[in-house]
A and B are shown apart, each in its own frame.
Chain A
Amino acid sequence: MLKIENLHATVAGKPILNGLTLNVPTGEIHAIMGPNGSGKSTLAYVLGGRPGYEVTQGSVEYDGRDLLALEPHERATAGIFLGFQYPVEIPGVSYLQFLRESLNSQRRSRGETDLSGAEFIRLAKAQAATMGMDADMLKRPVNVGFSGGEKKRAEMVQMGIMAPRLAILDETDSGLDIDALKAVGAGINSIMRAPDKAVLLITHYQRLLDYVRPDRVHVLSRGVITRSGGPELAHELEREGYVEVAA
């Protein structure tokens, strides 16, 4: 589903990704682990199309299409969900309005009709319930006054509503207590564990992988994948540290 070939990218002229190659087949969950500064978040932003993250070499194919040629909103419409390490606050705009307009914008681009207010609220309530989130929180401005855990749960509610084919989750587990971690793990499994979907799970720690079992684990160091393996690689990293394993 996602094919990254020799990807080089810079941020403010500084090279961060230095020839990253990665293949995530449909139906699989791949974890990317790496120390701080290895390029994990840059990879997520490059795949999401964030302005300021410049690809200087290499290619990214999504479902056989040139992903890098698409605008950020077109990538979402094509079925990619980017989960944020630091979800953004938007004062004055309610979560319900934000998500309804986003979803309907996607639907229109795909030639589908808008969801009505009532249809959307039913969908949002069901997804909030799945994540153990009070649906009334969706009436509040986007992420304003949310705790770290609430923001990440809300990201999973958003993912449930958007029903993407490929989720790229950037440290969705950071700043979570154990209950929220379990809830987020269960959310990823229920929404994304399917034969026609795939997940790229970017994480610093092994602990989320206790709840979401990856098919493959890759170690990112200085902008390249230095090792790949099965789920046991995550345990090895946890035991021995990045310095030993990634070197």
Chain B
Amino acid sequence: MTALPTRKLEAFRYADIDALASVWSELAEPEIIDIAAQQKLQQIWLPSDQEVQIRRVEMILHAGASANIFALNTASHYGRIELDVSLHEGADFSLHAANIGGELSNLEIVTIVRHLEPSATSRQVIRSVLGGKAVGSYLGKVAVARDAQHSDSVQSIKAMLLDRGASANAKPELEIYADDVKCAHGATVGELDRDQLFYAAARGLDPAGARALLLGGFVGDLWDGIEGDDLGIAELARAALKRIA
């Protein structure tokens, strides 16, 4: 077992080290997901009912493989999703994830996506909705190797703060050694739109219902790409939004 990380480490700068310490001794090594060439994988990561939830995954996508990950991070105390992804030639990775929390919860998504070979694509779409004194973070590094020409990566990070005490951190990071690549990133932090809230109220929606509806719209399209059964992730996200709306 390695030593407990400190906040001096970049990947842990917003982490709840005390919460991490409470589970550190039983924390398993990262789960390894290895996807063979040309294979497809879809996974939906649902929250559990634990106060502290940590998920660590290393994923390797061989040539032409694809992975679509959908994740909901709603732990009441501390939720951390760590993902280290290696992409070989022509592989396609996507992560659609939401941090939804209120009160004192600390929710973070920390990713490294390594474009090791040419023509791989990666797409990360993260939405955070934070109430109370919650903190939601995204630390995401996209590393493009020297030979990984025609890499195409997108990081879209948006956060909505419902209360004065809530905060969001977004740190999309690019490390590019190839010269013919597309790497887009955008990050926004905002509040609910007053005109939209009044419009909904003028149609008879009570304030909590109006906030839940607008937040549902903010988060909703994350799950549109799920093939087949969504395992209830959309409903769980709606319920989490209702709790903080």
Question: Which residues of A does B touch, CB under 8 Å?
Answer: 48-51, 71-73, 75-77, 82, 84, 87-88, 90-93, 97-99, 101-103, 105-106, 109, 141, 158, 162
Residue from the list A84, A87, A162 in contact with B204, Cβ < 8 A: A162
Q: Which 8 A/B pairs are nearest by Cβ-Cβ distance?
A: A92-B217, A76-B204, A102-B203, A106-B204, A93-B217, A72-B201, A88-B199, A73-B201
Known: A48-B202, A92-B218, A141-B217. 11 other contacts (CB 8 A): A48-B198, A73-B201, A76-B204, A84-B199, A90-B214, A90-B217, A92-B221, A101-B213, A102-B205, A105-B206, A106-B204
Q: Are A103 and B201 in contact (CB under 8 A)?
A: no
Q: Are A101 and B202 in contact (CB under 8 A)?
A: no
Residue of A nearest to B220 (CB): A92
What number of residue pairs across chains A and B have CB atoms under 8 A from each other? 74
Q: A73-B206, A105-B209, A109-B206 are in contact. Are A98 and B200 (CB under 8 A)?
A: yes
Asked if B18 is an interface residue, CB under 8 A from chain A, the answer is no
Residues of B within 8 A of A51 (CB): 194, 198
Asked if B196 is an interface residue, CB under 8 A from chain A, the answer is yes
Q: Are B203 and A99 in contact (CB under 8 A)?
A: yes
Asked if B186 is an interface residue, CB under 8 A from chain A, the answer is no
Residues of A within 8 A of B198 (CB): 48, 50-51, 72, 88
Residues of B within 8 A of A71 (CB): 201, 207
- Tell me how far the C-beta of B223 lies from the nearest C-beta in chain A, rounded to whole angstroms: 12
Residues of A within 8 A of B206 (CB): 73, 105, 109
Asked if B195 is an interface residue, CB under 8 A from chain A, the answer is yes
Scan residues 147-179 of chain B and give those whose CB is less than 8 A from a CB of chain A. none
* Alpha-carbon separation in the docked complex, A51 to B198 (Å): 8
- Tell me how far the C-beta of B174 lies from the nearest C-beta in chain A, rounded to whole angstroms: 27
- Tell me how far the C-beta of B205 lies from the nearest C-beta in chain A, rounded to whole angstroms: 5
Residues of A within 8 A of B132 (CB): none
Residues of A within 8 A of B205 (CB): 73, 101-102, 105
* Alpha-carbon separation in the docked complex, A110 to B92 (Å): 52
Residues of B within 8 A of A141 (CB): 217
Residues of A within 8 A of B218 (CB): 92
Residue contacts A-B, CB under 8 angstroms, 18 given: A48-B198, A71-B207, A73-B204, A73-B207, A76-B202, A76-B203, A84-B199, A88-B195, A91-B217, A92-B217, A92-B221, A98-B200, A98-B203, A102-B203, A102-B204, A103-B203, A141-B217, A162-B204
Q: Are B199 and A101 in contact (CB under 8 A)?
A: no
Q: A92-B218, A93-B216, A105-B209 are in contact. Are A76 and B195 (CB under 8 A)?
A: no
Number of residues from B at the complex interface, CB < 8 A: 23
Residues of B within 8 A of A84 (CB): 199, 202
Q: A93-B217, A101-B209 are in contact. Are A88 and B204 (CB under 8 A)?
A: no
Residues of A within 8 A of B216 (CB): 92-93
Residues of B within 8 A of A75 (CB): 202
The 0/1 profile, CB within 8 Å of A marked 1, for residues 59-99 of chain B is 00000000000000000000000000000000000000000
Q: Are B214 and A105 in contact (CB under 8 A)?
A: no
Residues of B within 8 A of A77 (CB): 204
Residue of A nearest to B203 (CB): A102
* Alpha-carbon separation in the docked complex, A141 to B221 (Å): 12
* Alpha-carbon separation in the docked complex, A77 to B214 (Å): 20
Residues of B within 8 A of A102 (CB): 200, 203-205
* Alpha-carbon separation in the docked complex, A57 to B121 (Å): 62
Residues of B within 8 A of A93 (CB): 213-214, 216-217, 220
* Alpha-carbon separation in the docked complex, A75 to B201 (Å): 9
Q: Are B220 and A162 in contact (CB under 8 A)?
A: no
- Tell me how far the C-beta of A82 lies from the nearest C-beta in chain B, rounded to whole angstroms: 5
- Tell me how far the C-beta of A68 lies from the nearest C-beta in chain B, rounded to whole angstroms: 15
Which residue among B195, B204, B216 has the maximum number of chain A CB atoms within 10 Å of its CB? B204
- Tell me how far the C-beta of A203 lies from the nearest C-beta in chain B, rounded to whole angstroms: 19
* Alpha-carbon separation in the docked complex, A77 to B209 (Å): 14
Residue from the list B204, B217, B221 in contact with A105, Cβ < 8 A: B204
* Alpha-carbon separation in the docked complex, A49 to B202 (Å): 8
